[in-house]
Structure 1
Amino acid sequence: MEIQWRKSSKSTDAEGNCLEVAILDGEILMRESDDPSVIIRTSRAKLRAFIEGAAAGEFDDLA
């Protein structure tokens, strides 16, 4: 089965640093387009918690 990777329409190939996501067997897969051999696997619930935390500013001190 070939993984169907997706990226945001706001990402462009010229930037060379796009986050791509896919779903495989119920898991969320993530990778950076400039290093596609490294794949992070997580669940929908964990990804949702991370996105909600980022939107709430929980990680602002890391930038």
Structure 2
Amino acid sequence: MSTVRNVLARARFYVREFSGEAAYDRYVAHARSHDPDAEVLTRRAFERARTDAREADPREGFRCC
């Protein structure tokens, strides 16, 4: 049973990393470690800022949609 649980935990880790879901968790941990009283963006605001930054990057090339 431990082996199955270990495999599932690793699979979950890779899926979260691949999908970008873990990025918000890393952001919150980083913000809290540097200033525990700092205001942290909501997940929605974080994802919006991430998307805006990605779309503004000229290395991404032209995207119409």
TM-score of the pair, normalised by structure 1: 0.34
From the two aligned structures, give the one with the greater strand fraction.
1
Q: Which has the larger radius of gyration?
A: 2
From the two aligned structures, give the one with the greater helix fraction.
2
Structure with more relative contact order (C-alpha pairs < 8 Å, separation 6 or more): 1
TM-score of the pair, normalised by structure 2: 0.33
